[in-house]
Structure 1
Amino acid sequence: MTDDVAVRKGEAATWFRTLRDRIVAAFEELERRAAPVGTPPATFEVTPTTRADDGGGGIMSVLRGGLVFEKVGVNWSEVHGTLGERAQKAMAARGVPGIEGDPRFWASGISLVAHMVNPHTPAVHMNTRMFWTPGAWWFGGGADLNPCIEYPEDTAHFHAEMKRACDAHDPAYYARFKAWADEYFFVPHRGRARGVGGIFYDDLNTGDWQADFAFTRSVGEAFLPAFLPVTERRLGTPASEADRETQLIHRGLYAEYNLVYDRGTRFGLETGHDANAVLMSLPPVAKWT
């Protein structure tokens, strides 16, 4: 990258925070519309977060006990410091240049996980991020839908929006990143996917920072059009006790994946970020059979 590294870091961090603000506002609007007249709607509790050794921090925004969202977190962070040995080795194994010789890093991004009240409304995950080391920079992220009761039209809509975001930049991206999501969001010890997929990409560096950042912005901007119509469509669907049981068991699968396999969870904990923010993705209630 050129001498304007600091400018590009600032541009990326600011955009991720702006996306966080837009999504929080949209989710609070859903809660406002769902609340009976005269009842205060559920809102986000916002908490600053810090990384160990004064390595930056972020904002943890969590809404609990809503009429639409049982728990949803929308976190933004901008952190920096020195990678531990395990993180260095993991990145070296992925081909990150120079990481073993200079362990400094900087990262910023947004991370979102929503667990819904109505079992017919799918849970969802989305994140986009930029990562920098002295030897490299790259973007990563994606979004995936996690219904406990699948509706094919919801799955089709979500994937169509992800494909639209990809196609605007490279017609090969959607097939490539959908396949990556299918592989990445697979739970090996259960022999199944955690949801119905979406897209996932990491280590994206085509050599054109502006193009890669533009694609990452498109992924983030596609999230609300992909998720809100699905949510609004299912809010009034009647749910039985059996539906709730199905939802809680599926949440157990989601928790297993995030604690055992998720790359972001491991990175956050290993680099000393606020544990509550890192584990924000866990559901409020889950069951195992």
Structure 2
Amino acid sequence: MDDQRRQAADWFRELRDRIVMAFEALEDRGPGEAPVGRFVVTPTQRGEDGGGGLMSVMRGGRVFEKVGVNWSEVHGTLAPRAQAAMAARGVPGMDKDPRFWASGISLVAHMQNPHAPAVHMNTRMFWTPGAWWFGGGSDLNPCLEYPEDTAHFHDTLRAACAPHGNELYDRYKAWADEYFFIPHRGRARGVGGIFYDDLNSGDWQADFDFTKAVGEAFLPAFLPLAEARMSQTWDEADKDAQLVHRGLYAEYNLVYDRGTKFGLETGHNADAVLMSLPPVAKWI
């Protein structure tokens, strides 16, 4: 399992590097005369010997108002609250051995142009002495929806899932629809995508290959949409709609998101955990 953990962590890091390069290349083609955005990369650490990662954030670019692409590899002992949550989910051995290891990539992009959709993606591997599993997914969060953009995003994810099982897209789309729903608002935070967690089929390589397919699908699913919308004309009403929609995103991530809760409860860098929050939002 040590070799498998190393494979997973290295691949998440390599995917992070490719996405950062692609986003900076899109910034180079962005509209306007404002300075071209670039990522600021900050090493993060979980305690003194619990691993860490890279927090990569770009703010105030021509295309991206705020985007974070984080990679982490952490380990240690789960706090009692996190341990209890894992045990409640049926993770084997959590009542006896609270050690863990986790690695993954987490991405959230908030765009300058209100016509360009916000987006989220993450893939991860989690290990305890009693079990291992993969999780992740990707979902689109437009404030001004274009049906053709939604269709492209979902079609790309469907094609990525298909080689790994004809039923996976439908299953994980339904999971995303449920997971990214905001109960107190009675609505979804966006137009969905796919989401999965606790993936352990017993075949580590097959599960890792599927997780890589989800990660590889992100750029072809999202970049064409961002490029098509980044120069579209917008007005103050469009921007106002974007800021109100960002309020939904902030509410969801602070109240319901499993990754946010886990990151804070396990003592990871709070700025890295909360990088998903929008730079500016509005409530009415």
Q: TM-score, normalised by structure 2?
A: 0.98
Q: After superposing the two structures, state which structure 1 stretch, 210-219 or 27-36, moved more.
A: 27-36
SS state at 1:288 partner: coil
Unaligned 5+ runs, structure 1: none
Match of 2:43 in 1: 48
Please give the alpha-carbon distance, in whole angstroms, between the structure 2 residues aligned to 1:145 and 1:30: 18
Match of 2:264 in 1: 269
Q: Deviations over 1:186-236 (max 9, x none)?
A: 001100000000000000000000000000000000000000011111112
**For 1:76-95, what aligned pairs fall within 5 Å after superposition?**
76-95=71-90
Is 1:134 aligned to residue 138 of structure 2? no
How many residues align structurally? 284
Q: Give the counterpart of 1:6 among 2, 21, 33.
A: 2
Is 1:167 aligned to residue 128 of structure 2? no
Percent of matched pairs sharing the same residue: 75
Q: Give the counterpart of 1:23 among 1, 9, 19.
A: 19
Q: Once the 2 structures are TM-superposed, how far is the Cα of residue 99 of structure 1 from its aligned partner?
A: 1.1
Is 1:204 aligned to residue 199 of structure 2? yes
Q: Deviations over 1:42-101 (max 9, x none)?
A: 110000000024200000000000010000000000000001111111111211111111
**For 1:75-154, what aligned pairs fall within 5 Å after superposition?**
75-154=70-149
Q: Deviations over 1:135-176 (max 9, x none)?
A: 000000000000000000000000001111111111110000
SS state at 2:29 partner: helix
- Runs of 4 or more above 2 Å deviation: none
Q: Deviations over 1:12-67 (max 9, x none)?
A: 00000000000000000001112668x75211000000002420000000000001
Q: CA RMSD in A?
A: 1.0
Unaligned 5+ runs, structure 2: none
Please give the alpha-carbon distance, in whole angstroms, between the structure 1 residues aligned to 2:149 and 2:206: 30
Is 1:247 aligned to residue 247 of structure 2? no
SS state at 1:177 partner: helix
SS state at 1:54 partner: coil
Q: Give the counterpart of 1:219 among 209, 214, 218.
A: 214
Q: TM-score, normalised by structure 1?
A: 0.97
Please give the alpha-carbon distance, in whole angstroms, between the structure 1 residues aligned to 2:134 and 2:119: 20
AA of the residue aligned to 2:140: L
Query: Does the aligned pair in 2 maintain the 1:35–1:41 contact within 8 Å?
Result: no
Q: Give the counterpart of 1:34 among 30, 34, 44.
A: 30
